[in-house]
Structure 1
Amino acid sequence: MGPIDYLVVEYPGTRPTGEAFPFLVDLVDRGLIRILDLVFVRKDLDGSVVAVELSDVTREGAPELAVFEGASSGLLGQDDIDEAGTVLGPGSTAVIVMYENVWAAPLARAMRRSGARLVAAGRIPVPDVVAALDSLEAAGAGARQ
C-alpha cells in the first residue's frame, strides 16, 4: 500500500457545492489515489456532530456525489467523526476523506524491501509556502535596488 492521508473539509451551511468533487474523481480515475472512506458530517448549532448519509446529500441536490456511494473501508469510526467535529463551526457540514496515495505504493515497496523506514512526514500548508516565496521575492527585489 501507499501512504494513507485524510482530509477534513468544512463547508458553510448544510451541504457542499460539489464543485471540487470532479477533481477528486479524476484523481481516482487516473489511479493516483484510492478512496478508502468518505463520510459527510454535520455539526448542529447545539454542537452535536452527526454523520450524514451520502444518499441524503445526493438527494438534496448533489447527485454527482453518488459515485462515492459505498466508499467505506470501515477504518473511519465514530471517534474520528467526533474528533473532526471539534474543529468544525456550528451549523456547518464537512466531508472526511481517507485515501491511499496509490502513486507512492511502488516507491514505498522498494524502500521497505531495501530496509528503509519512514522516520518523519509532514505537509506544509500552501499559504505558508506562498508567504515564504513572497518574502524571498521581496528580499530579492530589495537587494537589487
Structure 2
Amino acid sequence: MSATADVAYDADDELGPIDYIVVEFPAGERRITGDALAELAALAADGTIRVLDLVIVHKGEDGSIEVDEIEDHDDLGALGALAAGFAEVLAEQDLLDVAAAMEPGSSAGILVWENTWAAPFAAAVRRNGGQLIASGRIPTQALIAALTSEGE
C-alpha cells in the first residue's frame, strides 16, 4: 500500500507500526457485520490500535468500481466516533490495486491501523538510531497447521 496522509507528524512523535489488511467477500457472501465493527471499535477504544482508514470497495460484475468511505455512513454505532478521526491514508491507486485483485461481484474491506500499543517501543528504537528493515506476518492458518503437525 502506498499511503498518503492528511495528517502531519513530527519525527519525534510516538508512532507505532502501521498495518493494513484487505478482506474480500465473494459475491453473495456475508459482508462486514456490526459484530466485526464493534470489535474494531473496542480495540480502538482501549488504545490497542488507532484506525487510520477504513474503506469498502465494491467491484461490479462488469468490472466497475464503487468505493464507500465508512465515515459517509449514518449508522456506525461505536465506530462513529472513530470515523471522525480517520487520517484517510489510502490513495486512489491503493484502491485501484485492490480492485484489480478482486473477483467481479465481490466487495472488500480495507483497514489501515496504527499499533498504538507498540508506539513507545518504536519511538525508543528510533531515538536510538534504529530503523525497521523488515516486517512480516505469519498467517494464523499456517501457525495452527505447524503446531498441529508438531503434536502428531
Specify the TM-score bucket, using the shorter chain as the normaliser. 0.7 to 0.9
Distance in 2 of aligned mates of 1:64 and 1:92: 25
Q: Structure 1's 53 and 115: CA in aligned 2 closer, same or farther, altered over 3 A?
A: closer
User: Retained in 2: the 8 A contact 1:18–1:65?
Assistant: no
Equivalent in the alignment of 2:114: 100
1:114 aligns with 2:128: yes
Distance in 2 between the 1:109 and 1:38 partners?
25
Give the equivalent residue in structure 1 for 2:145: 131
CA distance in 2, matches of 1:88, 1:19: 24
Q: 1:129 to 1:15 in 2, by over 3 A?
A: closer
- Where 1:19 maps in the other structure, the secondary structure is helix
Matched positions, count: 135
Percentage of pairs with the same residue: 43
**TM-score normalised according to structure 1 size:** 0.81
CA contact (8 A) 2:17 2:115 kept: yes
- CA gap of 1:24–1:94, structure 2 versus 1, over 3 A, is same
Q: Which has the higher helix share?
A: 1
SS of corresponding position for 1:46 = coil
What is the rounded CA distance, in whole Å, between the counterparts of 1:44 and 1:123 in structure 2?
30
Runs of 4+ in structure 1 over 6 Å off: none
Q: Which runs of 5+ in 1 are unaligned?
A: 139-145
Instruction: Specify the SS of the correspondent of 1:74.
Output: coil
Q: 1-side partners of 2:77 and 2:100: how far apart?
A: 28
Q: Aligned partners of 2:102 and 2:31: how far apart in 1?
A: 14
1:50 maps to 2:66: yes
**Aligned equivalents of 2:131 and 2:71: distance in 1?**
41
Partner in structure 2 of residue 11 of structure 1: 25
**8 Å contact from structure 2 (residues 41, 78) kept in 1:** no
2:18–2:114 CA contact under 8 A, matched in 1: yes
Q: Give the whole-Å Cα distance in 1 for the aligned partners of 2:78 and 2:61.
A: 25
* 2:37 alignment partner in structure 1: 21
Q: TM-score, normalised by structure 2?
A: 0.77
Instruction: Supply the RMSD in Å over aligned alpha carbons.
Output: 2.2
- Counterpart Cα distance in 2 of 1:109 and 1:22: 29
Q: Which has the larger radius of gyration?
A: 1
The one-letter amino acid of 2:111's match is: V
Aligned 8 A contact 1:47 1:90 in 2: yes
